A and B are shown apart, each in its own frame.
Chain A
Amino acid sequence: MAKSTLMMNGREVGFEPGQTILDVARAHGVDIPSLCYLKDCTPTGACRVCLVEIKGARSLMAACAMPAAPGMEILTESEKVVKARKLNIELLLASGRHDCVTCEANGDCTLQDLAYRYKISELRFERPEKWYPTEDLNPMIIRDFSRCVLCGRCIQACNEVQVNRAISFGYRGAAAKIITSGDKPYHESDCVFCGQCVEVCPVGALKEKKAKGLGRPWEVEKVRTTCPYCGVGCQLWLHVKDGKIIKVTAVEDGAPNQGRLCVKGRFGYDFIYSEDRLKTPLIKENGEFRPASWDEALDLVADKFKGIIAEHGPDAIAGLSCARSINEDSYNMQKLFRAVIGTNNIDHCART
Chain B
Amino acid sequence: MTNSFADFAKAKMLLVIGSNMTEAHPVAATFLKNAVLKGGELILVDPRRTDLAGFASIHAPIKVGSDIAFINGLMHVLIKEDLYDKKYVDSCCTGFETIKAKVMEYPPERAAEICGLDVDMIYQVARRLAAVKPAMLMYTLGITEHTCGVNNVLSCANLQMMLGNVGFECGGVNPLRGQNNVQGACDMGALPNVYPGYQKVGDPQAQAKFEKLWGAKLSDKPGLVMPHMMDGLVTGKIKAFYIFGENLANSEPDIKHVEHCLESAEFLVCQDIFPTETTRFADVIFPAAAWSENDGTFTNSERRVSRVRTVSTPPGEAKPNWWIFKELARRIGGQSWTSNSAQEIWDNEVSVEAPQLCGVKYARLEGDGLQWPVPSLDHPGTCTLHKDGCFTCGQGRFTPVDWTPPAEVPDAEYPFTLSTGRRLYHYHTRTQTGRCQGLNDLLGEETADISPADADSLGIEHGEMIRLRSRRGEVALKAKVTDQVPPGMVWMAFHFREACANWLTNPVFDPVSWTAEYKACAVRIEKL
Contact = CB atoms under 8 A, between A and B. Distances in A.
* Bound together: yes
Interface of A: 138-140, 160-163, 187, 192-194, 209-210, 223-235, 238, 240, 243-245, 254-257, 260-265, 267-272, 274, 276-284, 289, 292, 294, 297-302, 304-306, 308, 312, 314-352
B246 A351 contact: no
Contacts of B299: 233, 327
A299 B37 CA distance: 60
Contacts of B191: 346-348, 350
Given A226-B306, A235-B368, A318-B224, A331 B350 contact: yes
B405 interface: no
21 contacts: A225-B291, A225-B311, A226-B307, A230-B178, A232-B25, A233-B300, A254-B368, A256-B368, A268-B427, A268-B433, A271-B436, A279-B318, A280-B317, A323-B180, A327-B297, A332-B321, A332-B345, A338-B219, A344-B219, A348-B191, A352-B428
Interface string B493-513: 000000000000000000001
Given A232-B27, A338-B214, A210 B437 contact: yes
A5 B379 CA distance: 35
Interface residues of B, number: 149
B404 interface: no
Interface in B319-347: 319-322, 324-329, 331-333, 335, 337, 342, 345-346
B298 A328 contact: no
Given A193-B442, A344-B201, A304 B192 contact: no
Interface in B349-374: 349-350, 367-369
B210 A338 contact: yes
Contacts of A343: 219, 223
B301 A162 contact: no
Nearest to B343: A328
Given A319-B241, A338-B218, A351-B514, A163 B190 contact: no
B432 A256 contact: no
A316 B240 CA distance: 7
B226 A347 contact: yes
Interface stretch (B124-132, B165-173, B272-280, B457-465): B272-280
A345 B321 contact: no
B273 A233 contact: no
Given A228-B298, A327-B185, 12 more contacts: A138-B441, A163-B33, A231-B301, A234-B27, A272-B290, A274-B435, A316-B238, A326-B298, A331-B345, A339-B214, A345-B192, A348-B182
B286 A297 contact: yes
Nearest to A299: B331
Contact of A331 (B189, B307, B333): B189
A49 B326 CA distance: 58
B307 to A, nearest CB: 7
Contact of B329 (A234, A308, A336, A346): A336
Contacts of B37: 160, 163
B31 to A, nearest CB: 8
Interface of B: 4-6, 22, 24-28, 30, 33-34, 37, 55, 141, 144-145, 149, 176-193, 195-196, 201, 210, 214-219, 221-226, 229, 232, 237-246, 248, 251, 267, 269, 272-275, 279, 282-288, 290-302, 304-309, 311-313, 315-322, 324-329, 331-333, 335, 337, 342, 345-346, 349-350, 367-369, 424-425, 427-428, 431-439, 441-442, 513-516, 518
A328 B342 contact: yes
Given A227-B180, A349-B251, A139 B189 contact: no
Contact of B308 (A162, A225, A240, A294): A225
Contacts of B346: 327-328, 331
Given A163-B34, A322-B185, A230 B442 contact: no
A314 B218 CA distance: 11
A333 B325 contact: yes
Contacts of A240: 311-312
Nearest to A326: B296
A322 B300 contact: no
Contact of A333 (B6, B318, B321, B428): B321
A322 B435 contact: no
A257 B29 CA distance: 11
Given A317-B240, A338-B218, A340-B332, A162 B30 contact: yes
Nearest to B189: A334
Nearest to B293: A272
Contacts of B436: 267-271
A139 B439 CA distance: 8
A318 B248 CA distance: 14
A324 B409 CA distance: 33
B239 A326 contact: no
Contacts of A318: 223-224, 229, 232, 238, 240-242
